[in-house]
Amino acid sequence: MRAEILDGRKVAAQVKAALKEEVTQLKGRGLTPGLAVILVGDDPASQVYVGNKEKACRAVGIASFPHRLPAATGEEHLLQLIGRLNADPAVHGILVQLPLPRQLDANRVIQAIDPAKDVDGFHPVNAGRLAAGLPAFVPCTPQGVMHLLAAYNIPVAGRHAVVVGRSNIVGKPLVQLLLAADATVTVCHSKTRDLAAFTRTADILVAAVGRPRLITRDMVKPGAVVVDVGINRLPEGLVGDVDFEAVREVARYITPVPGGVGPLTIAMLLKNTLAAALAGRGGGPRGE
């Protein structure tokens, strides 16, 4: 069996086209969704991510408000900026690109964001609401994974999903989303003993680790759906956490890197920003 590719670029383009129409309509009613993007320091990967997010905003008509701060920025300065953005009616979403330089406490910074503008879904209020099954801003990457599965009509209910990785950004929220979609979920991490014994039982296997080609062919059940969230920069280019060419021979579906989950992540960020604007926060016209 040679796996069918889950084409994240194609699905993301569809999402963005629909969002563009919605944004155009909203603008006609006097509301322009706005996203503030804060980048501290000059990490090259972060610069690329932030640039891509700003470009994607422009492409669908969302106003982007970039804030590029020097690496030596103090926490009070950053918190004050977030305070101003929280109060700015033109800003519906606020994103702080991670990782932050060492002197900044990411938890404090994230908790300073108004949960109603937390389009990354990292604020503990949104994480808690997600875990409790309440409406919440859902982190973009796990939301993108679920969207990709749905776009290919891949059933989740009753299936065994194994998530490798338990970060607050990807693994944990993905576990919540899979549970909410009625999967039976196993979470693996760096202390898991005999990782392969778990991954081999997965109907849906998600790798969100950051270790190049950690998931090898022998770790995958024939016919499984394999979603590769990992982005690893090697001299030969970007690779995922899955040994793509070999695993492709046994899986039923597989995401490529790049071109899989990544494009969906940005599309979900735009979707969250539109939702924030529609929620009427940030001073959008009442009754929208």
Q: Please report how close the Cβ of residue 281 comes to ligand NDP at its closest, in angstroms.
A: 25
Q: Is 9 in the site for ligand NDP (CB under 6 A)?
A: no
Contacting range for ligand NDP; rule: CB under 6 A; set: 10-18, 24-32, 56-64, 187-195 = 187-195
Q: Is 229 in the site for ligand NDP (CB under 6 A)?
A: yes
Q: How far out from the chain centre does Cα 51 lie?
A: 16
When the beta carbons of 10 and 84 are compared against ligand NDP, the nearer one is: 10
* Distance of alpha carbon 113 from alpha carbon 81, whole angstroms: 10
Q: Considering only residues 189 through 208, tell me which ones interact with ligand NDP, judged by CB under 6 A.
A: 189-192, 195, 208
Q: Is 171 in the site for ligand NDP (CB under 6 A)?
A: yes
Size of the site for ligand NDP (CB under 6 A): 26
Q: Is 50 in the site for ligand NDP (CB under 6 A)?
A: no
Contact residue for ligand NDP among 160, 211, 217, 252 (CB under 6 A): 211
53 among known catalytic residues: yes
53, 172, 221, 271: the active-site residue: 53
Per DSSP, which regions of the chain are E strands? 4-5, 34-40, 63-69, 93-96, 160-164, 184-188, 204-207, 225-228, 232-234, 237-239, 253-254
Would you list the DSSP string of 50-112? HHHHHHHHHHHT-EEEEEEE-TT--HHHHHHHHHHHHH-TT--EEEEPSSPPTTS-HHHHHHH
* Signed CA dihedral, 62, 65, 68, 73: sign only: negative
14 among known catalytic residues: no
Q: Please report how close the Cβ of residue 56 comes to ligand NDP at its closest, in angstroms.
A: 12
Closest C-alpha to 189, from 172, 202, 212, 173: 172
191 among known catalytic residues: no
Q: Please report how close the Cβ of residue 145 comes to ligand NDP at its closest, in angstroms.
A: 9
Q: Considering only residues 138 through 167, tell me which ones interact with ligand NDP, judged by CB under 6 A.
A: 141, 164-167
114, 117, 118, 120: the active-site residue: 120
**Environment class of residue 20 by beta-carbon count within 10 Å: exposed (0-12), middle (13-18) or buried (19+)?**
middle
Contacting range for ligand NDP; rule: CB under 6 A; set: 107-115, 123-131, 173-181, 223-231 = 223-231
CA–CA–CA angle 56, 64, 100 (5° rounding): 90
Q: Considering only residues 121 through 140, tell me which ones interact with ligand NDP, judged by CB under 6 A.
A: none
8 A C-beta contact, residue 110 and residue 97 = no
Q: Please report, as ranges, the residues that interact with ligand NDP according to CB under 6 A.
A: 141, 164-167, 169-171, 188-192, 195, 208-211, 214, 229-232, 261-262, 265
Residues forming the active site: 53, 97, 120
